[in-house]
Structure 1
Amino acid sequence: MSHERTDEELMLAYAAGDIAAFETLYARHRGPLYRFIVRGISPRATADECFQDTWGRVVAARVRYRPEAKFGTWLYQIAQRLMIDQYRRVRPQVSLDEDDSPLHLAGDEQDKPEQALSRFEEQRRLQQALAELPDEQRLVLQLRLEQELSLEEIGEITGVGRETVKSRLRYAMDKLRARLGP
């Protein structure tokens, strides 16, 4: 019976020269990591660059990797640091790509144009409200809601305690409710 290797085992195998181990890690994490970065940085080209830089750092750090924390936590720490560097360079702007057009947001092809436009407008309002959150609040909200990480894992990634994470989440949700309504 074959046992599926953990991310940590795969990373150690990759450090020892097993390229297939890296390919497995990349396949497991590319989608969630990309969505995390794309939702945190605009324009899309900058997010793509951050995504590539994150994997580049993983490759460069492979020989120094020690499984002291979960691989996913370590990976998101790298991405988060790169995103913070980008936030410092240029405050993110709300931008809707062609993927966010009303036609792409229409879930049911039978929807009327008014319904698709209404959903598009709601999405745009949410994106604007998220962009207005302080970086620390937006980051913990993304990690919690989109990546479904625990408060402890978010604390490890962001370098703050559990109570600070809870506080940032609470303030972010309060600001979103105030901006968007109930």
Structure 2
Amino acid sequence: MSLENRVAEALDKRGEADSDQALMLQYMQGDMSAFESLYQKHKGGLYRYFVRQIGDLQLAEDLYQDTWGRVIKAAASYEPSAKFTTWLYRIAHNLLIDHVRAVKPVDHFSEVFTEEQDADSFLPSDEQAPQTQFIAWTKAQLLKHCISLLPTVQKEALLLNMEAGFTAGTIAEVVGTSLEATKSRIRYANQSLKTCVMNKWQEVENER
């Protein structure tokens, strides 16, 4: 099937995945606006994926840019056999793993969400009462801290599920593991988070 026919076929289908595939195929034909559309659509989630995994804003930016660079390099050989988001996050996952293996053991990341500007983005609106704002902000910080304590594989699976909205099956494809292992990682991550946040909140209550 010619590239033009593949674009037409993808455009004829419905759904976000097919739209992404069509845009990628159009980019392969030299349509830079198609790449811009993909970039604008996925840039926020992809950047947050790196920030929440490693916590270093500059490093997150570097890996983020490297991911898009690899997308550009791989465009000529792209085959829409899987969702574009699965393919994109697989590239991101591999870059992250390569970095972690190069600098530290795979199960140890630095603390995340220590930057003041990142914490500010989680503050509630001014319409809420100061006390409500403080409670919501404190719980957000506890949650972020507890996420940072999760084993790397659990943290990645949880964030891909919560933030990217990926199913366990899609996450399994991204990280290259079995469906059951992915479900277990998400389940254990949720259980650990619930316990951690409850314990940390109790500590805060006891100090008040």
TM-score (norm 2): 0.77
Aligned length: 180
- Paired AA for residue 94 in structure 1: V
Q: Does 1:153 align with 2:170?
A: yes
Unmatched 5+ residue regions in structure 1?
none
Among residues 145, 150, 154, which one is paired with 1:137 in the alignment?
154
Who is 1:70 aligned against?
83
- The answer to whether the 8 Å contact 1:11/1:22 transfers is yes
Q: Which moved more, 1:12-21 or 1:139-148?
A: 12-21
Larger Rg: 2
**Residue aligned with 1:148, SS:** coil
Among residues 50, 69, 73, which one is paired with 1:56 in the alignment?
69
Percent of matched pairs sharing the same residue? 38
- Whose helix fraction is larger, Structure 1's or Structure 2's? 2
Give the Cα–Cα distance (whole angstroms) in 2 for the partners of residues 64 and 102 of structure 1.
Answer: 41
- Paired AA for residue 45 in structure 2: P
Among residues 116, 127, 148, which one is paired with 1:98 in the alignment?
116
Q: Which moved more, 1:99-108 or 1:50-59?
A: 99-108
- Paired AA for residue 158 in structure 1: V
- Paired AA for residue 116 in structure 1: Q
Unmatched 5+ residue regions in structure 2?
1-10, 200-208
Q: 1:149 to 1:110 in 2, by over 3 A?
A: closer
Q: CA RMSD in A?
A: 2.3
- Deviations 1:116-135 (CA, angstroms, capped at 9, x unpaired): 33333222221121111111
- The answer to whether the 8 Å contact 1:102/1:117 transfers is no
- The answer to whether the 8 Å contact 1:11/1:21 transfers is yes
Residue 102 of structure 1, CA deviation: 5.5
Who is 1:41 aligned against?
54
- The answer to whether the 8 Å contact 1:74/1:157 transfers is yes
**Residue aligned with 1:69, SS:** coil
- The answer to whether the 8 Å contact 2:55/2:111 transfers is yes
Compare relative contact order (CA 8 Å, sep 6+) and give the higher one, 1 or 2: 1
